[in-house]
Amino acid sequence: MSDPTRFEEQVLPHLDAGYNLARWLTRNVDDAEDVVQDACVRALKYVGTLRDGNARAWFLTVVRHAFYDWCKRNRPKEIIKDDGTAIDMAAADSSMDPERVAQRSSESRLLADMVAELPLAYREVLILRELEELSYKEIARIADVPVGTVMSRLARARALLQRSPQLRAICERPGGER
Partner 1 sequence: MNCNEAGTLVARYADGELDSTQGRSTEQHLRSCVDCAAKHRLVLALRARIHAEVPCFPAPSALRERVRALLANAQDVAPARPRPERNRWRWLTEGAFAGCAATVLAWVMGTAVIDWRANEDVAVEAVTTHVRATLNNHLIEVASSDQHTVKPWLSARLDYSPPVHDLAAEGFTLTGGRLDTLDRHHVATLVYRYRLHTIDVFVRPESAHAPSALRTVRGFDVAHATGSGMDWLAVSDVSADVLTAFVERLASADAAR
| 109 is an interface residue for partner 1 by CB under 8 A | no
| 28 is an interface residue for partner 1 by CB under 8 A | no
Q: Which of 25, 31, 41, 49 binds partner 1 (CB under 8 A)?
A: 41
Task: Assign 163 to helix, strand or coil.
Answer: coil
Least distance in angstroms from the C-beta of 115 to partner 1: 5
- In angstroms, the CA 11 to CA 56 distance is 7
Least distance in angstroms from the C-beta of 113 to partner 1: 10
Per-residue exposure over 31-45, b if at least 16 CB sit within 10 Å of its own CB, e if not: bbebbbebbbebbbe
Q: What DSSP assignment string belongs to 84-120?
A: SHHHHHHHHHTT--HHHHHHHHHTT--HHHHHHHS-H
Amino acid at 100: R
Distances (CA, A) of 132 to 68, 122, 142, 166: 19, 15, 12, 24
| 67 is an interface residue for partner 1 by CB under 8 A | no
Q: Which of 32, 63, 71, 90 binds partner 1 (CB under 8 A)?
A: 32
Q: Which of 28, 74, 103, 166 binds partner 1 (CB under 8 A)?
A: 166
| 151 is an interface residue for partner 1 by CB under 8 A | yes
| 3 is an interface residue for partner 1 by CB under 8 A | yes
- In angstroms, the CA 157 to CA 144 distance is 18
- In angstroms, the CA 175 to CA 122 distance is 31
| 129 is an interface residue for partner 1 by CB under 8 A | yes
Site stretch for partner 1 (CB under 8 A), options 28-36, 74-82, 84-92, 94-102: 28-36
In the complex, the residues that contact partner 1 under the rule CB under 8 A are: 2-5, 7-10, 12-20, 23-24, 29, 32-33, 36-37, 40-41, 44, 52-56, 110-112, 115, 129-133, 135-136, 151, 154-155, 158, 161-162, 166-167, 170-172, 176-177
